[in-house]
Amino acid sequence: MSAYLVVDTNIHNSEMYEIYKSLAKPIAEKYGGVYRVRGGAIDLRESDLWTPTRIVIIEFPDVKSAQGFVDSDEYSQVKNLRLDNAECTLFIIEGC
């Protein structure tokens, strides 16, 4: 069953964040990740619980693959670029 890594990001340093993106993408792809959404325009209709900023959705073959990416040694080496240059909410959700 597919799984999705969903990240809402408020970027503070776009130059450094571009470096993060270029490093993170090949690692996600190594774990079977396919970017489905990467910061497109948001047509927000309701926001009682959450007001998204910039959404990224990466589809993985399964939860284990998504967790493998997030928890990998390779990703841990670039994760701090994201943490140092943006505020984020990140979660993994099972698909149907």
Q: Which of 67, 78, 9, 74 is nearest to 37 (CA)?
A: 9
Output the pLDDT for position 46.
Answer: 95
Query: Residue 10 and residue 96: Cα distance in Å, rounded?
Result: 28
Output the pLDDT for position 45.
Answer: 95
Output the pLDDT for position 26.
Answer: 98
Query: Residue 52 and residue 30: Cα distance in Å, rounded?
Result: 27
Region of residue 55 (left: phi > 0; alpha: psi -120 to 50; beta: else): beta
pLDDT one digit per residue (tens) for the chain, 96 residues: 999 999 999 999 999 999 999 999 999 999 999 999 999 999 999 999 999 999 999 999 999 999 999 999 999 999 999 999 999 999 999 998
Query: Residue 48 and residue 70: Cα distance in Å, rounded?
Result: 28
Strands of the sheet containing 3-11, edge to edge, are: 34-38, 55-60, 3-11, 86-94
Output the pLDDT for position 41.
Answer: 95
62 phi and psi angles, rounded to 5 deg: -165, 170
